Amino acid sequence: MYAQLVETGAKAVKTLDQMEPQERAFQERINAGIKTEPKDWMPEAYRKTLVRQISQHAHSEYVGMLPEANWITRAPTLKRKAILLAKVQDEAGHALYLYSAVETLGVTRDQTYLDLLSGKAKYSSIFNYPTLTWADIGAIGWLVDGSAIVNQIPLCRCSYGPYARAMVRVCKEESFHQRQGFDIMQALCKGTPEQKAMAQDALNRWWWPSLAMHGPPDELSANSAQSMAWKIKQNSNDELRQRFIDQTAPQIEFLGLALPDADLKWNEARGHYDYGAIDWEEFFNVVNGKGPCNQERLAARNQAWEEGAWFREAMSAYAAKQEQSDMQGAT
């Protein structure tokens, strides 16, 4: 998802009996559905896991602005331009809410952000794919934001209060993102043969990365069980992936596009769509820096940070001077 492969430090999930009294009391509150707030006692591993997960999520929002921003200046109509601009701006807002949630855990935004810039921190694999045509903007809204919503709605019930509250705000804003993406796809599919081909191409390229972005299959995600015990995560990767596929396959048919996977078929017995094998090697490559756009994305974030340094410093310096002259005025 927006936070993939979040390390929890846990080899196996402890039972209540294996816990010290303080940790046990904490786990019992979690089990009872009571939210943890910043000043409450929490196990260090829980805090660290949250920092990793929320900061990855924040980085994903921030990096995620780039592939879509790539098309703002080239949007095909003024209305589409306004919508896309507002949408990409929302991602900045989401990054900001999430960095704020990390700050409640005692790590400042710049500390968190510098880990992204240095390449130490991860962000979602999906944003390392290029946006080659306008249809990619439709596909991202529809498939990537569609996946995000499936993942983020349960996060609104996450056990950590500030994260849950940030996600409520994100989800409220996000609901327009998926619809605007689908709306772009619809316009393309009703358009000329060239436009429809563009839509099909975008679906074909974004489908598999959208499935992979839900994270490795359950049997490969050792950290999932611990995150679920802490109610940081509510559903497994495979569960959310299946939910996304089930809701999206009929939409592909509605658009009149060809299914991007020959194995994508309704399975009456399971009550779900079956789907083909995901290329996990590609996924791990992209996560580990070998995706099509990893270098560009990180370079763009570093460039904005470095070129903005004089601005941020000057703003601080001016405020400090003002404060000083206010104090002198008061004495």
Partner 1 sequence: MSHKFQYLLRLGDNCLVLSQQLAAWCGHGPALEEDLALTNVALDLLGQARLWLSYAGEVEGRGRDEDALAFGRDGLDFRNLLLVEQPNGHYGNTVARQFLFDAWHRQLLAGLCESSDPRIAEIAQKAVKEVRYHVERSAGLMIALGNGTALSHARMQDAVNMLWPYTNEWFDSDAIDAQCASAGVAPAASSLAAAWRADVETVLGRAGLTTPTYTGHQRGGKLGVHSEHLGRLLTALQFMQRAYPGAQW
Partner 2 sequence: MTSNDVKPEWPLWEIFIRSQHGLAHKHVGSLHAVDGASAIHHARDVYTRRNEGVSIWAVRAADIVASSPGDKEALFDPAQSKVYRHPTFFPTPDGVKNL
In the complex, the residues that contact partner 2 under the rule CB under 8 A are 37, 39-41, 86, 89-90, 93, 96-97, 100, 103, 108-111, 114, 117-118, 165-166, 169, 173, 302, 305-306, 309, 312-313, 315-316, 318-319, 322-323
Contact window for partner 1 (CB under 8 A) among 18-26, 158-166, 264-272, 315-323: 315-323
Name the strand (E) or helix (H) holding 109: helix 109-117
- Give CA–CA dist 24/17, Å, rounded: 8
- Triad 293, 295, 301: Cα angle to 5°: 100
Pick the closest to residue 51 from 117, 1, 100, 119 (CA basis): 100
What's the CA gap between 156 and 170, in Å, rounded?
Answer: 9
Please say which residue, 214 or 301, places its beta carbon nearer to partner 1: 301
Q: Tokens 């929302």 — which residue?
A: 90
The span of 144-152, 203-211, 244-252, 306-314 binding partner 1 (CB under 8 A) equals 306-314
Under 8 Å between Cβ of 173 and 97: no
Binder of residue 37, out of partner 2, partner 1, none (CB less than 5 to 8 A by kind):
partner 2
Q: Of partner 2, partner 1, none, which one sits near residue 111, judging by CB under 5 to 8 A according to partner kind?
A: partner 2
Residue 29 near residue 36 (C-beta atoms within 8 A): yes
Torsion of CA 304, 306, 311, 316, to 10 degrees: 120
In the window 72-131, what residues touch partner 1 (CB under 8 A)?
Answer: 72-82, 85-86, 88-89, 92-93, 95-96, 99
Query: Rounded to whole angstroms, what are the CA distances from 251 to 146, 185, 212, 235, 268?
Result: 11, 10, 19, 23, 18
Distance CA 159, CA 312 (A): 35
Which of these ranges, 31-39, 120-128, 145-153, 187-195, lies near partner 1 under the rule CB under 8 A? 187-195
Contact set for partner 1, span 35-74 (CB under 8 A): 62, 65-66, 69, 72-74
CB of 205 to partner 1, least distance (A): 19
CB of 208 to partner 1, least distance (A): 25
Contact footprint for partner 1 (CB under 8 A)? 62, 65-66, 69, 72-82, 85-86, 88-89, 92-93, 95-96, 99, 134, 184, 187-188, 190-192, 194-195, 300, 303-304, 307-319, 321
